[in-house]
Amino acid sequence: GVFAHLEMLEAQAHEAAVKQEATEQQEEKLARLKARVQELRRQRDELRAKVDLQQKGQLGKEGPSADPAQPSARAVLEWKAKSVKAMLQIFYLTGISGKLTKRGVCFCISTAYEGTYLDSYHLDLLTKPEVRIHRHSIPIFIPLEQIARKYLQTDIRRFFSVLSDHLNAYVGRRYQADQLQEHFSDQIEGTLQRNSLCNLLVFNYKVWSESKPFLFNVRLLYGDVCCSLPTEVVISCKVDAPSSLAEMATAHSDLFRRVALHRAFRAFRSAEEHVD
C-alpha cells in the first residue's frame, strides 16, 4: 500500500543521506567553531561596552592626571579595530568573509548545499557618511534592495543573515535541479523547466507499473524562497493510468517535500531495482 511504499522510500532516502552526513570528527570541529563564536561574541560585547563608555564621556580624558587604569583614546581605537575583526571572524565561520578597504568593507558570501561549496558572491560596502552598497555580484532576482532597506542601517548582522539565507536556498534549489538533469536524465522525459530563481520546476519523469512505463507530470513550487524544499507538489498522470499509480504519486509527492530532489530520485531508482 501507499504507507509501505512511502516507508521504504523514506528508509532508502535516509540511508543515502546518512552515508553523506558529517563524521564525528566534523561534528567535533563544528562544536569547536561554535565555542569560538561564543568567545568572539563575548569579546565583542566587552569591547562594545567600553567604547560606549568612552563615547558617553564616562572614561577619563587622556593626560597626566588621567587614571592609568582607564584606557586612552588610542586604546579605544584598538578596541574598535578588534571589534571589527571579531565581527569579521564571526561572519567567516558562517561562510561570510570580509576585508577592510579604504572606504569600507568588502564582503564575500560563500554558498554551499549538503557540504558542497557552490558559488561565491561579493558585496562592497561604503561606511561613510552612512553604510551603503557600492557594488555587488548578487543576482538581480535576489531582493537585495529590499533586504538592505530593512536591515542594512540598523542590524548589519541580520542583513547578512537574511541575504545569506536567500543565496544558499537559491543555489540549493539550482544544485538539485542540476543534479537531477546530470544523474537521472534517463528518467526525465523532455526538458526540465525552471525559472531564474529556481523556485518553480516543471518536468515529466517515467515510472513503471504492471511492467509498463507511464509519465508523471510534476510541478514543484518553492513558496518560501529561503528554503530549498518545495512547499507545494502537484503530480498528475493520464486518466487511464492504473489505480496503483495514484498511491505511487502520493508517496512521491510526500518524499519531494521531505528530501532533496536528486535524493528522492535515487530512492525511486533503488525501489525499482528492488522490485525487479
Identify the domain boundary among 94, 120, 139.
Answer: 94
Asked, for residue 31, whether it belongs to a domain, the answer is yes
For 47, residues 6+ apart whose C-beta sits below 8 A from its C-beta are 79, 80, 82, 83, 86
- What mean pLDDT is predicted for residues 210-226? 92
What pLDDT is recorded for position 166? Answer: 96
Higher-confidence residue of 95 and 110: namely 110
Query: Would the pTM of this model clear 0.75, i.e. be above it?
Result: no
Same domain, 8 and 49: no
Number of domains in the chain: 2
Is 90 in the same domain as 181?
no
Residue 30 lies in a domain: yes
What does the DSSP 8-state code read for residue 130? S
What's the pLDDT score for residue 18? 56
pLDDT in tens, 115-149: 888 999 999 999 888 889 999 999 999 999 999 99
Q: Which carries the bigger pLDDT value, residue 72 or residue 84? A: 72
**Per-residue model confidence (pLDDT) at position 93:** 47
As a three-state string, the secondary structure of 242-275 is: CCHHHHHHHHHHHHHHHCCHHHHHHHHHHHHHHH
| Residue 188 and residue 222 in one domain | yes
The strand order across the sheet containing 96-100 reads 96-100, 104-113, 116-126, 132-136
Integer Cα distance of 57 and 239 in angstroms = 79
| pLDDT band per the 50, 70, 90 thresholds, residue 61 | very low
pLDDT at 180 over 50: yes
Shared-domain flag, residues 230 and 262: yes
Domain check: are 224 and 255 in the same one?
A: yes
Question: Are 47 and 70 in the same domain?
Answer: yes
> In 3D, which of 204, 252, 264 has the Cα closest to residue 228?
264
Q: How confident is the model at residue 60 (pLDDT cuts 50, 70, 90)?
A: very low
Q: Which of 47, 68, 94 is the last residue of a domain?
A: 94
Query: Domain check: are 184 and 254 in the same one?
Result: yes
CA torsion, points 159, 165, 166, 167, in degrees to nearest 10?
100
Residue 70 has pLDDT above 60, yes or no: no
Asked if the structure places residue 144 within a domain, the reply is no
**Domain enclosing residue 248, as ranges:** 2-17+173-275
Residue 198 lies in a domain: yes
Q: Is residue 247 part of a domain?
A: yes
